[in-house]
Amino acid sequence: MNASQKTALLELARSAIESTFTGDEQSLIAQMRRLKGGLYEQQRGCFVTLRDVNDALRGCIGNLIGRGNVAQSVVALAREAAFSDHRFVALKPRELDHLIIEISLLTPLEPIDDYRLIEIGRDGVILTCGNRRAVFLPQVATEQGWDLSTMLTHLSMKAGLAPKAYTEAECRFEVFQAEVFSDDDHL
Query: Is residue 187 scored above 90 in pLDDT?
Result: no
For residues 128 and 133, what is the distance between their CA atoms, to the nearest angstrom? 4
Question: Domains in the chain: how many in total?
Answer: 2
The number of angstroms, rounded, from the C-alpha of 91 to the middle of its chain's C-alpha atoms is 17
Same domain, 150 and 68: no
In a domain, 12, yes or no: yes
- Residue 83 and residue 171 in one domain: no
Last residue of a domain, one of 75, 106, 137: 106
What string of DSSP letters covers 83-109?
A: HT-TTSPPPPGGGGGG-EEEEEEEPPP
The mean of the pLDDT values for the chain is 93
Query: Across the chain, which distance is largest between two alpha carbons, in Å?
Result: 52
pLDDT at 45 over 60: yes
Q: Taking residues 14-38, report their average pLDDT.
A: 87
Q: Would you say 62 and 45 are in contact if contact means Cβ atoms under 8 Å apart?
A: yes
Using the 8-state DSSP alphabet, how is residue 121 labeled? T
Co-location of 69 and 155 in the same domain: no
Domain boundary (67, 83, 106) is at: 106
The whole-model pTM stands at: 0.85
